[in-house]
């Protein structure tokens, strides 16, 4: 049953019965109904999303999460800590919430990393984070190779890591480069310029250009990665995004009255910064990217590329550990292997 | 930082922006809109009729390319009015998921089994409006004596409203045709197992990017209308396969039966299915929050098993009406008339309502059973090998070698072996998978 219609020959014959041996008329089988079936199933099951936020303390990570999801989902809102103490080592704190909108249910997990980049000596501060990410892959792998598998393996893998760049206005710091270089190989990194209300538009554009150059020259592939564009359509959309990252964001969970409307913003003596106004900051772009258009894509890349790479590496590892037959040392798989 | 003079301008710009945002496709991500005020019309590509009714067919957001084909996703955008500002926005997730599936397309493998001449090919052609069998040659009786049961595959790509389906029909010519039909289902069972095995290999392998799913999602088993219910061959076949594939029994050539006869046969067949412990495909139960109509339909569906079907590839005309059917001197049997047969019910079930569930059950139940059994038998071999090595003190390989018939073991030996297997299965599933992998990939 193809999607075109043949004009039917007119058969008004005086004979009551006649044969036509061509299935042109009733050519609708109803295959598109499978979309509805899938949709119902998806709605029933709900979705999962795990976002990690990384950056020095005071860059507005928790506030940004709250702003993104319009509710108190961050660690700070959930754990009642009156003091803001910088922990001595990097901690990984996961908080999960079930949120629902228009019938779609989502289990959102925000993974915070207090202590990152705050020490005097920040050597290897990315290690606990990498370990956490790999641990999640490992947990998923174990479930997957289990003999009696769950119908739906709980997904705790980090889908997206938002990296907060302090708004220095100059260029990336060595810590930023080192972190992103390593982590971009195992997780989707979305860099953002934090607290962007300290930059003028010119300063912002200059900073962004500089950052993009540095990312390029250091071979850091942030999301959306060029090599994972599926087709021309994706490429077109993603190119536009790549020309705009990192998004310069401002977060807020306070509402102010502006021109008769209540908006999220930051009120200062010289004006009110409206978080969702794209003339003021790029929060709306970040939100649209992460939530409204690319959320599924972010999850897909995590599961079909980052996770698969981890899996291959692990399977090869245990292979050589078990047999040691051929004496070939474990080779490091490059990011382009698959 | 904003200077005081700019304050009003900024607000002005902000106002225009808001207005335009309101008029636009609320779903369009902001970075794809040109950041200039007053361009509501030039927003090419997104549906111009957006602000109208809800159930319009939608373009997925991409204002940059005006010539994009229409999306088959014709459910309305969850954020179809200006209050979308209040929402976070993730209710578009189902749309995002399905966009990908639509791009990829779907696949479905249907097996048809039953004796020759029960109308299997015609029914398949009628169901999917294809002509898969036009070049086949029917064998005569002598040729059929030496025929064994073949397994043939036909694949056809169907597209409707932008949705692509790769349909594979697995046929079993020769089934039940010989004089001695003992174990004629074996090749069918083997075929199904082979597909599972192939999938298991692929899934355990290193490169999982483009795994082809050839597992059989549903088996239509044709029951002859000429008997008194199930025949021994029917029972044996279904029992051999009910734990490998979703069996949907079908009462073939139902136009040889009157309505009463059909009812009686259905009841008899259902009783026998229960009596012999045959596990046919079960329709999932309705949720309590489904509407009444849906529940009613679901109930009717469950009570129609086995589906009494009639197939036809020809369109006949009667009194100005054109129908697909079979022309007899005493009247016309209309295939798509639910008073005449259950064809519509079967097609709706197979294609429009339960296709996804059939695939899910195959994947979550039948395949998982196969996989668990497979791993278990591998474990068994590993344990045996280990024990053999212990006895002979040879440094044998870890590699499970298929062995000859096992030496008979005592009760205690059996318990020890089972305990070993359990231990292995719990502690080292991973190395086991490696062995599986090695065995398959060598």
Cβ contacts (< 8 Å) between B89 and chain A: which residues? 101, 287-288, 291-292
What is the rounded distance in angstroms from the CA atom of residue B72 to the CA atom of residue B95? Answer: 11
Averaged pLDDT, B140-163: 74
% of chain B residues with pLDDT over 90: 18
Calculate the average pLDDT of chain B: 72
Which two three-digit tokens encode residue A2? 């193809």
Please state whether beta strands A255-258 and A261-268 pair in parallel, antiparallel, or not at all (unpaired).
antiparallel
Q: Which of A2, A72, A147, A338 to mutate to test the interface with B (most CBs of B within 10 A)?
A: A147
pLDDT on residue B31: 56
User: Could you give the C-alpha distances from B131 to A19, A295, B128, in angstroms and in order?
Assistant: 17, 41, 9
Torsion sign over Cα B1, B2, B4, B6? positive
Q: CA-to-CA distance for A211 and A165, rounded, in angstroms?
A: 10
Q: What is the pLDDT of residues A30-89, one digit of tens each?
A: 888 888 888 888 888 888 999 999 998 888 888 888 888 877 777 666 655 545 667 777
- Percent of chain A topping pLDDT 70: 83
Residue B221 has pLDDT above 90, yes or no: yes
Tokens (6 digits) for B38? 């007053």
Lowest-pLDDT range of A197-206, B131-140, B160-169, B172-181: B131-140
The predicted pLDDT at position A75 comes to 66
Our measurement of the distance from residue B76's CA atom to the centroid of its chain's CA atoms, rounded to an integer in Å, reads: 26
Can you give the pLDDT at residue B48?
Answer: 36
Q: Higher model confidence: residue B30 or residue A188?
A: A188
Instruction: Kindly list the distances between the CA atom of residue B369 and the CA atoms of A143, B38, B375, B376, B427, in Å, as whole numbers in the listed order.
Output: 16, 61, 10, 10, 20
Q: Rounded distance, CA A163 to CA A186, Å?
A: 14
B327-349 mean pLDDT: 86
Strand runs labelled E in B63-129: 106-113
Examine the pLDDT at B343 and tell me if it is beyond 70: yes
Strands A47-54 and A160-165: parallel
In this model, does residue A21 exceed pLDDT 80? no
Q: What is the pLDDT of residue B117?
A: 84
List all residues of chain A from 159 to 188 with a beta carbon under 8 Å from chain B. none
CB-based contact (8 Å) between B54 and chain A?
no
**What is the average per-residue pLDDT within B412-433?**
59
Q: What's the sign of the alpha-carbon dihedral A229, A233, A234, A239?
A: positive
- Tell me what the mean pLDDT of segment B372-395 comes to: 77
The Cβ of residue A331 has, within 10 Å, a number of other Cβ atoms equal to 10
**Is the pTM above the cut of 0.90?**
no
Which of A35, A46, A253, A267 is the best substitution to test chain B (most B C-beta atoms within 10 A)? A35
Check whether the bond before A246 is cis (ω within 30° of 0): yes
pLDDT digits (tens, 9 = 90+) for B76-117: 455 555 455 567 778 888 778 777 778 888 889 999 998 888
CB pairs under 8 A between A and B: 263
A155-169, B314-328, B383-397, range with greatest mean pLDDT:
A155-169
pLDDT band at B312 (very low <50, low <70, confident <90, very high): confident
Average pLDDT over residues B127-147: 63
Query: Does B24 have pLDDT greater than 50?
Result: no
Could B163 and A32 be called an inter-chain contact, meaning their C-beta atoms sit closer than 8 Å?
A: yes
Asked if A8 contacts A25 with a C-beta cutoff of 8 angstroms, the reply is: yes
DSSP assignment of A148-167: S--SS-------EEEEEEP-
DSSP result, B200-232: HHHHHSS--TT-------EEEEEEPTTSSS--H
CB contact under 8 A, B160 and A29: yes
Please report, rounded to a whole number, the percentage of residues in chain B having pLDDT higher than 70.
63
Give per-residue pLDDT as tens, B26-75: 445 555 554 433 333 333 333 333 333 333 333 334 333 333 333 444 34
Alpha-carbon span A30 to B165, nearest angstrom:
11
Sheet holding A261-268, edge to edge: A255-258, A261-268, A271-274
- Range A76-103 average pLDDT: 74
pLDDT number for residue A215: 93
**Could you say which residues from 294 to 323 on chain B have a Cβ atom under 8 Å away from some Cβ of chain A?**
313-320, 322
Helices (H), A3-124: 33-45, 61-69, 75-78
Give the C-alpha separation, B167 to B405, whole Å. Answer: 41
Across residues A127-155, what is the average pLDDT? 90
A265 phi and psi angles, rounded to 5 deg: -170, -175
- The more confident residue out of A326 and A233 is A233
pLDDT (0 to 100) of residue B1: 37
d(CA B118, CA A151): 37
Signed CA dihedral, A197, A201, A206, A210: sign only: positive
| Alpha-carbon gap, residue A267 to A301, rounded angstroms | 39
pLDDT band with cut points at 50, 70 and 90 for residue A207: very high
Among A31, A43, A241, select the one facing B31 at the smallest CB separation.
A241
A 10 A CB-CB count for A256 gives 15
- What pLDDT sits at residue A80? 52
Phi-psi region of A5 (alpha: psi -120 to 50; beta: other; left: phi over 0): beta
pLDDT, averaged across chain A: 80
pLDDT of B216 strictly over 90: yes
In the numeric block, the tokens 């020309």 are attached to A243
Any alpha helices (H) in chain A, and if so which ranges? Answer: 33-45, 61-69, 75-78, 127-145, 174-183, 201-217, 232-242, 283-287, 295-301, 307-323
Q: ipTM, 2 decimals?
A: 0.72
When pLDDT is cut at 50, 70 and 90, the band that residue B181 belongs to is confident
Q: Measured between alpha carbons, how far is residue A241 from residues A192, A313, B30, B34, B279 in Å? A: 13, 31, 11, 13, 53
Q: Which residues contact A75 (CB under 8 A, 6 or more apart)?
A: A62, A93, A95, A110, A112, A114
- Beta-bridged to residue B219, according to DSSP, are B111, B247
* Residue B13 tokens, joined: 């710009």
Digit-coded pLDDT (tens) for B230-280: 888 889 999 999 999 999 999 988 888 888 888 999 999 999 999 999 999
């Amino acid at each position: 049953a193809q999607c075109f219609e043949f004009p039917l020959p007119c058969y008004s014959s005086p004979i009551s019965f006649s044969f036509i041996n061509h299935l042109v008329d009733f050519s609708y089988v109803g295959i598109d109904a499978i979309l509805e079936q899938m949709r119902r199933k998806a709605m029933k099951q709900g979705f999962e999303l795990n976002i990690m936020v990384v950056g020095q303390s005071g860059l507005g990570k928790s506030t940004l999460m709250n702003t993104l999801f319009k509710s108190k989902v961050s660690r700070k809102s959930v754990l009642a800590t009156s003091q803001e103490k910088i922990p001595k080592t990097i901690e990984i704190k996961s908080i999960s919430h079930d949120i629902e909108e228009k019938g779609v249910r989502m289990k959102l997990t925000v993974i915070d990393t207090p202590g990152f980049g705050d020490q005097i000596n920040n050597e290897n501060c990315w290690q606990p984070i990498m370990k956490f990410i790999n641990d999640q892959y490992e947990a998923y792998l174990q479930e997957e190779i289990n003999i009696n598998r769950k119908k739906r393996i709980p997904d705790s893998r980090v889908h997206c890591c938002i990296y907060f760049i302090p708004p220095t206005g100059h260029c990336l710091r060595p810590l930023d480069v080192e972190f992103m270089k390593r982590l971009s190989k195992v997780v989707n990194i979305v860099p953002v310029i934090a607290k962007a209300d300290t930059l003028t538009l010119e300063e912002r554009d200059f900073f962004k250009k500089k950052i993009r150059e540095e990312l390029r020259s250091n071979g850091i592939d942030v999301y959306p990665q060029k090599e994972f564009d599926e087709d021309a359509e994706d490429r077109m959309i993603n190119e536009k995004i790549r020309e705009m990252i990192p998004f310069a964001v401002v977060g807020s969970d306070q509402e102010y009255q502006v021109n008769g409307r209540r908006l999220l913003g930051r009120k200062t003596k010289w004006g009110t910064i409206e978080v969702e106004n794209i003339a003021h900051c790029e929060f709306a772009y970040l939100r649209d990217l992460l939530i409204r258009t690319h959320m599924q894509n972010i999850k897909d890349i995590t599961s079909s590329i980052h996770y698969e790479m981890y899996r291959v590496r692990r399977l090869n590892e245990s292979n050589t550990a078990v047999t040691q037959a051929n004496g070939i040392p474990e080779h490091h798989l490059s990011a382009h292997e698959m | 930082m904003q200077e005081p003079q700019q304050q009003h301008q900024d607000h002005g710009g902000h106002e225009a922006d808001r207005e335009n945002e309101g008029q636009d496709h609320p779903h369009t991500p902001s970075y794809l809109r040109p950041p200039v005020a007053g361009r509501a019309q030039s927003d090419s590509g997104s549906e111009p009729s957006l602000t109208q009714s809800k159930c319009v067919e939608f373009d997925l957001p991409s204002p940059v390319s005006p010539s994009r084909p229409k999306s088959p996703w014709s459910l309305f955008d969850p954020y179809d009015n200006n209050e979308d500002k209040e929402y976070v926005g993730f209710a578009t997730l189902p749309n995002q998921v399905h966009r990908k599936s639509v791009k990829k397309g779907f696949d479905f493998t249907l097996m048809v089994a039953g004796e020759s001449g029960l109308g299997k090919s015609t029914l398949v052609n009628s169901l999917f409006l294809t002509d898969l069998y036009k070049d086949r040659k029917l064998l005569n009786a002598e040729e059929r004596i030496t025929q064994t049961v073949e397994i043939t595959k036909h694949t056809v790509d169907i597209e409707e409203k932008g949705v692509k389906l790769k349909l594979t029909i697995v046929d079993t010519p020769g089934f039940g045709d010989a004089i001695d039909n003992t174990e004629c289902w074996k090749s069918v069972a083997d075929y199904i197992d082979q597909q599972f095995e192939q999938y298991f290999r692929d899934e355990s392998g290193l490169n999982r990017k483009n795994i082809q799913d050839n597992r059989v999602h549903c088996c239509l088993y044709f029951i002859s209308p000429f008997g008194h219910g199930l025949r021994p061959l029917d029972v044996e076949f279904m029992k051999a396969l009910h734990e490998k594939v979703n069996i949907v029994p079908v009462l073939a050539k139902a136009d040889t039966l009157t309505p009463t006869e059909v009812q009686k046969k259905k009841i008899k067949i259902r009783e026998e299915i229960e009596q012999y412990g045959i596990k046919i495909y079960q329709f999932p139960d309705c949720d309590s929050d489904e509407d009444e109509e849906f529940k009613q339909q679901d109930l009717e569906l469950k009570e129609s098993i086995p589906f009494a079907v009639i197939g036809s590839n020809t369109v006949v005309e009667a009194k100005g009406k054109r129908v697909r059917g079979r022309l007899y001197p005493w009247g016309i049997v209309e295939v798509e008339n639910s008073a005449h047969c259950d064809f519509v019910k079967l097609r709706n079930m197979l294609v429009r309502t339960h296709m996804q569930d059939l695939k899910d059950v195959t994947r979550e139940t039948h395949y998982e059973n196969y996989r668990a059994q497979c791993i278990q038998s591998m474990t068994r071999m590993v344990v045996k090998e280990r024990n053999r090595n212990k006895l002979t003190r040879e440094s044998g390989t870890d590699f499970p070698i298929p062995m000859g018939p096992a030496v008979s073991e005592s009760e205690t030996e059996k318990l020890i072996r089972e305990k070993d297997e359990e231990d292995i299965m719990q502690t080292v599933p991973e190395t086991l998978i490696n062995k599986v992998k090695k065995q398959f990939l060598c």
